[in-house]
Structure 1
């Protein structure tokens, strides 16, 4: 099988045009093309007057070797890579050392699934509730201002990614094609097959809920076990005379103990009590950079017209997204993050007395507004004081936002015009904020660090030069966006174990090794492989079929 890349066709091409373009590109008769499969389809919208679709196709040909020789110098004609997933091993019959996975977000879900598929019958501990009960609790905050600290956007089956745009693309390096395994498992669980081919796949919250349920059923059918409402409050660690530390189990909030010498730590970026526990138990943990800022909303139609011109509204293109970055004069970088076309800004706090924003879209991306985080990168130099100092900064900003919003989980908001002019907002314009339970017009600069405010004020006009209308006076910014990524890194070695605690496998976004659903899922697979190798006593990384 051969792979042909960068095949360009008009946006409105006829179905048969793809096959004809392949034949013309390769200069072969139709009888030589035995099969054609679209591997990826993206688009090139740099010229709004002539938007093209860009295809990558896998081909079965009558004489592939001859064609490869003829196109040896062409970088767009190559053998198709073997992307089939191969397990690193399987548990022998009667294997009793069940691993524990802490957290049922994308990382823990894929780690649990892979361990179950390899026969290790993992125990998955989730502090929150099953996904449908969790959804009801989350809507309780959005509709009634009632927060459940153990069941919300951050905690519960499916993790924070369940209430997001459901983006399934990433810029991580993935030489072993683990991302393909993630997508294939999602399709088996009910995701639309198009996520295997479109260049920027997404699912949306409602579909994610049913997928998470399906994957849980698969894990349980393979001998895995879920325990909801099971918050880990202590790690049982043995220390040898030579100082070597090893996991022996975990203690739960109800006093129960689970013995385990292999524990996957996939807790997500908001498990602040767990990070505190790690620090108290001497697990190596360090502060890491993250970003802070606001959510910004514009009419989705405006973004569509700016990106697609007369093709705005085209069904193939869908709702337009964007990605922006600006390097400021004060040395800071401002960038768009977690852009949600046709979505809503959501309340994402997990702690009482704090306000946090995030973005979410459904599969249709049909809401009136586009939203994205506009954030400024910060480093531990901005929050000195130890590995947990970033959490302290997050909490201070979230508490300030809570009070600025009125103390009832409404969020503080400001129009872009007022923000740039340095005056508090007393009302809003045509752009209606989507955040629930609601917003309070105010001055966002009153509680944000000056260097963040200055950087965003410089960046917004620069973004307006890329997307006309981005700095329109009635665009709305809502605060605060503080949980762009984990403020800590729980470091691990090349073998997947914690640097100083054998048997503890830090993984995913909370440990600082992922940023989004796909990369978290990929890291879950890699971590499951590391656990399997350790359990089976395999030091290298053979990939047995």
Structure 2
């Protein structure tokens, strides 16, 4: 196969125009292009006023690939196509009985369990929350009735925190083995739209993800794996530095020498248990801030100009960064075009916000986190206070937001203009906040540390110079966004195992090795492969 990059065609080109464009670009005689596959399609809207084009990367099967490569040997856009197919690293030996455990069934745990199952290792998955449909009902209980179920919510349950999100499937992590393609192919196989294989910023959306993760669980089970819900791990069994099993909240102990710890970033009780069991971990940076909402039409006009609302382009997104005078970096996080701001707490008497979109991205507002990076030096007691101090800061800010919101899971909110001016908000403008159960207008300044408020106040007008109207007076800020990533890292070595607990494989967002669905899925594959090779080596040694 040959890969051709930077092939541009007008936005509204006919589907049949792509093949002739490839033939013309490669100067091929009729019949020399046998087949082709679109690997990627993107567009660049940075040049205001210019005509937009789709830019393609295509993999082509040609009659004489060697001749074409020789003809274009100095053309950086014509190259052999890399092999992006997935190749299993191991297969379980006949009669294999040492079944691995996977703790957590978010994106990382799903792909770790799926890969292990496809290699024949029949994993057992332990998920503290409920199956996706029961979990969805519990989550709507908070959004519609102000009733929180601490065991089943936006953070806990089948699909993990990524289920109630935009379903974005892109990442900037290094992926030399193309595990990201495996993630996308498995999603498509489970019912996701095929376009996620080639659009530049693929997403699925919450409602479609629910069916996708259900079908992926069914495949794991069909391959001999088990997924056990409402099974919270409360302790580890460790002998001489080696993991020998886990204890559940029910009191049951499950023997296991190999456990993938695919926790989400909100598994605070489990983090504290691991720390008490002396599993090595360290505090790491994360970010805090608010959700901001604008009319999606404003973002579309600012980003796409005369192409705003074009059905082939969909709702526009953005990515913003500002380096404040006080040394803090403020940036947009988890931007959700045509989405809603959602209640994302998992603990009583705390308020947390996040963003979510459906596949259609057709809600009235755009929203994103506007967050400030912080480091362990900012946590209570500083670096010397230990690895759990970031959690303590999160809990303090979330409890503060609960009080500012009125103590009923409504969220504190403020208009952007009032926030910049340092005055409380008393009435909404044209922008209607989407957060459910609802918002309480007031002053957001007490909800975050002074340095964060100062940096965000400086950043919003700067963002308004990049996107006209971003700092409009009646845009809405809703607080607080605290769970941008895990505040700690369960550090692992080159073999993907814990530095001081052999057989324990920290993975994904909660362990500090991922940030989003795609990177979590990739990390789950990597860790599953490392565990499989270790299991195979152990089996061969015993033989």
| 8 A Cα contact 1:335 1:375, kept in partner | yes
Deviation at 1:184, TM superposition (A): 0.5
Q: Distance in 2 between matches of 1:464 and 1:354?
A: 31
Give the aligned partner of residue 292 of structure 1.
288
1:262 to 258, 262, 273: 258
Deviation at 1:70, TM superposition (A): 1.4
Give the aligned partner of residue 231 of structure 1.
232
Deviation at 1:386, TM superposition (A): 1.1
- Residues 166-205 of structure 1 mapped to structure 2, 5 A cutoff: 166-205=167-206
Q: How big is each residue's C-alpha offset from its partner over 1:236-288, in whole Å with a ceiling of 9 and x where there is no partner?
A: 0002xxxxx00000000010000000000001100001110111000000000
The reply on whether 1:319 has 2:320 as its aligned counterpart is no
The reply on whether 1:377 has 2:373 as its aligned counterpart is yes
The reply on whether 1:120 has 2:121 as its aligned counterpart is yes
Q: Distance in 2 between matches of 1:34 and 1:188?
A: 25
Q: Distance in 2 between matches of 1:25 and 1:188?
A: 33
Q: Distance in 1 between matches of 2:52 and 2:360?
A: 22
Deviation at 1:330, TM superposition (A): 1.1
| 8 A Cα contact 1:346 1:436, kept in partner | yes
Structure 1 unaligned blocks of 5 or more: 240-244, 540-545
Q: Distance in 2 between matches of 1:468 and 1:526?
A: 42
Give the aligned partner of residue 481 of structure 2.
481
Q: Distance in 1 between matches of 2:48 and 2:131?
A: 45
Deviation at 1:16, TM superposition (A): 2.8
Give the aligned partner of residue 40 of structure 2.
40
- Residues 489-528 of structure 1 mapped to structure 2, 5 A cutoff: 489-528=489-528
Q: Distance in 1 between matches of 2:314 and 2:470?
A: 20
Give the length in aligned residue pairs.
Answer: 534
Q: Distance in 2 between matches of 1:533 and 1:289?
A: 32
| 8 A Cα contact 2:265 2:511, kept in partner | yes
| 8 A Cα contact 2:497 2:506, kept in partner | yes
1:341 to 312, 337, 347: 337
Give the aligned partner of residue 16 of structure 1.
16
Q: How big is each residue's C-alpha offset from its partner over 1:398-439, in whole Å with a ceiling of 9 and x where there is no partner?
A: 000000000000000000000000011111111000000000
Structure 2 unaligned blocks of 5 or more: none
Q: How big is each residue's C-alpha offset from its partner over 1:320-361, in whole Å with a ceiling of 9 and x where there is no partner?
A: 000111111111110000000000000000000000000000
1:350 to 335, 346, 350: 346
Give the aligned partner of residue 425 of structure 2.
425
Give the aligned partner of residue 242 of structure 1.
none
Q: Distance in 2 between matches of 1:197 and 1:87?
A: 23
Q: Find the residue that maps to 1:124 and give its secondary structure.
A: strand
Give the aligned partner of residue 81 of structure 2.
80
Q: Find the residue that maps to 1:342 and give its secondary structure.
A: coil
Give the aligned partner of residue 364 of structure 1.
360
Q: Distance in 2 between matches of 1:418 and 1:48?
A: 31
Task: Pick which of 430-439 and 445-454 moved more.
Answer: 445-454
Q: Distance in 2 between matches of 1:407 and 1:534?
A: 50
Give the aligned partner of residue 152 of structure 2.
151
| 8 A Cα contact 1:294 1:478, kept in partner | yes
Deviation at 1:23, TM superposition (A): 1.8
Q: Distance in 2 between matches of 1:127 and 1:102?
A: 9
| 8 A Cα contact 1:121 1:222, kept in partner | yes
| 8 A Cα contact 2:287 2:371, kept in partner | yes
Give the aligned partner of residue 248 of structure 2.
252
The reply on whether 1:389 has 2:389 as its aligned counterpart is yes
Deviation at 1:474, TM superposition (A): 0.1
Deviation at 1:121, TM superposition (A): 0.6
Q: Distance in 2 between matches of 1:154 and 1:197?
A: 29
| 8 A Cα contact 2:447 2:480, kept in partner | no
Q: How big is each residue's C-alpha offset from its partner over 1:26-63, in whole Å with a ceiling of 9 and x where there is no partner?
A: 12223211112111101111234311111000111111
Deviation at 1:93, TM superposition (A): 1.2
Deviation at 1:101, TM superposition (A): 0.3
Deviation at 1:538, TM superposition (A): 7.7
Give the aligned partner of residue 471 of structure 1.
471
Q: Distance in 2 between matches of 1:270 and 1:75?
A: 45
Q: How big is each residue's C-alpha offset from its partner over 1:178-219, in whole Å with a ceiling of 9 and x where there is no partner?
A: 000010000111101110011100000001000111011100
Give the aligned partner of residue 26 of structure 1.
26
| 8 A Cα contact 1:48 1:310, kept in partner | no
Q: Distance in 1 between matches of 2:537 and 2:48?
A: 56
Q: Distance in 2 between matches of 1:189 and 1:447?
A: 41
Deviation at 1:14, TM superposition (A): 2.2
Q: Find the residue that maps to 2:338 and give its secondary structure.
A: strand
Q: How big is each residue's C-alpha offset from its partner over 1:368-413, in whole Å with a ceiling of 9 and x where there is no partner?
A: 0000000000000111121000000000000000000000000000
Q: Distance in 2 between matches of 1:487 and 1:477?
A: 23
| 8 A Cα contact 2:234 2:249, kept in partner | yes
Q: Distance in 2 between matches of 1:445 and 1:376?
A: 14
Q: Distance in 2 between matches of 1:20 and 1:123?
A: 51
Give the aligned partner of residue 543 of structure 1.
none
Q: Distance in 1 between matches of 2:276 and 2:260?
A: 18
When the two chains are superposed, the root-mean-square deviation of aligned CA atoms in Å is: 1.0
| 8 A Cα contact 1:48 1:311, kept in partner | no
Q: Distance in 2 between matches of 1:37 and 1:159?
A: 32
Q: Find the residue that maps to 2:59 and give its secondary structure.
A: strand
Deviation at 1:10, TM superposition (A): 1.2
Give the aligned partner of residue 331 of structure 1.
327
| 8 A Cα contact 2:317 2:335, kept in partner | yes
